[in-house]
């Protein structure tokens, strides 16, 4: 019977065979998990470990002293200011754009949706150069703005525009799938019960988007904190005026201030990682039945 089953190509169902199958599946699962951990460790954990080693190369006090320098504090304050304003703008307009793209139908909608992903495809350095071509001294709007006494290039407004551009997709792309999954039925039901537009949004729509909204805020803030190329080009990296934390890291490495560069990079990395992990932890905690 066994020989006939083998010749027919049919599986042999025995206790040992089942144990062997389970064993092969178990080891395959372990190998896959190990590969995932190795991949994550190589791309995330190893760089963080290298930053920790570089920051602590001269002792625990060295990073504290490096981060306490006035120019470093000023760079971090400027970075935080730019990032928070970007988050506030995208919290409002990103939510509005996501709602319009999902709930409304209009000519050019697909083109607009595609343009939103442009920051993912365009280099941040190119973004900085584009802003210079528009707002620079010899740019498209530069002379006109100069006559009005408004400075965009090599000033904070230009850096804010660059940060807004590179962080544009995160809030929108987090909210659109949730709006599509929610559908129109809950909103229509609220409308039939007498709720106006704002009441429907705050009491029906927004609660369904809550965690996507927080994820969008966290990703936007993390991306804004780590922006380098665009703000360097449009801001010029002027120490004490337009030098952000990432630009300081670049200057510190160029000047061989390795402890300061490693410490600032480690702080930025830990803050960004903490934002994403913290939001995920809160979601898991409060969504548990």
Which tens digits make up the pLDDT trace of 177-206? 999 999 889 888 988 888 888 888 888 999
Q: What is the pLDDT of residues 127-136, one digit of tens each?
A: 999 999 999 9
As given in the structure block, the two tokens for residue 198 are 């704002």
Cα 27 off chain centre by? 35
Give the per-residue SS3 of 158-217: HHHHHHHHHCHHHHHHHHHHHHHHHCCHHHHHHHHCCCCHHHHHHHHHHHHHHHHHHHHH
Q: For the chain, what is the mean pLDDT?
A: 88
164-181 average pLDDT score: 95
Reported as a pLDDT band with limits 50, 70 and 90, residue 245 is very high
pLDDT, residue 2, reads: 46
C-alpha distances out from residue 111 to 97, 114, 117, 174, Å: 13, 5, 10, 19
pLDDT, residue 289, reads: 53
How many other C-beta atoms can be found within 10 angstroms of the C-beta atom of residue 57? 12
As given in the structure block, the two tokens for residue 188 are 């229509």
Whether 11 has a pLDDT exceeding 90, the answer reads no
Query: pTM for this one?
Result: 0.84
Share of the chain above pLDDT 90, in %: 59
60-68 average pLDDT score: 90
Rounded-to-10 torsion of CA 173, 176, 181, 183: 180
How many residues would you count in the chain? 289
Whether 259 has a pLDDT exceeding 80, the answer reads yes
């Amino acid at each position: 019977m066994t020989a006939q089953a083998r010749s027919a190509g049919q599986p042999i169902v025995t206790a040992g065979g089942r144990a062997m199958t389970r064993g092969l599946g178990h080891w395959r699962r372990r190998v896959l998990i190990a590969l995932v951990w190795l991949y994550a460790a190589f791309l995330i954990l190893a760089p963080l470990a290298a930053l920790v080693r570089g920051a602590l190369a001269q002792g625990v006090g060295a990073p504290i002293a490096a981060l306490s320098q006035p120019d470093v504090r000023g760079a971090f304050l400027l970075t935080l200011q730019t990032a928070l304003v970007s988050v506030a703008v995208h919290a409002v307009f990103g939510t509005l754009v996501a709602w319009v793209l999902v709930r409304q139908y209009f000519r050019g909608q697909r083109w607009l949706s595609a343009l939103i992903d442009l920051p993912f495809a365009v280099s941040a350095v190119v973004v900085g150069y584009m802003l210079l071509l528009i707002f620079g001294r010899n740019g498209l709007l530069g002379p006109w703005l100069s006559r009005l006494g408004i400075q965009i290039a090599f000033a904070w407004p230009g850096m804010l525009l660059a940060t807004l551009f590179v962080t544009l997709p995160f809030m929108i792309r987090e909210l659109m799938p949730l709006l599509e999954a929610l559908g129109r039925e809950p909103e229509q039901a609220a409308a039939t019960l007498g709720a106006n537009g704002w009441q429907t949004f705050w009491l029906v729509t927004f609660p369904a988007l809550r965690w996507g909204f927080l994820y969008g805020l966290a990703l936007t803030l993390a991306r804004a904190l780590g922006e380098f190329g665009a703000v360097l080009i449009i801001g010029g990296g002027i120490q004490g005026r337009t030098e952000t934390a990432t630009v300081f890291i670049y200057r510190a490495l160029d000047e061989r201030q390795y402890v300061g560069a490693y410490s600032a990079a480690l702080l930025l990395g830990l803050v960004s990682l903490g934002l994403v992990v913290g939001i995920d932890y809160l979601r898991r905690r409060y969504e548990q039945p």
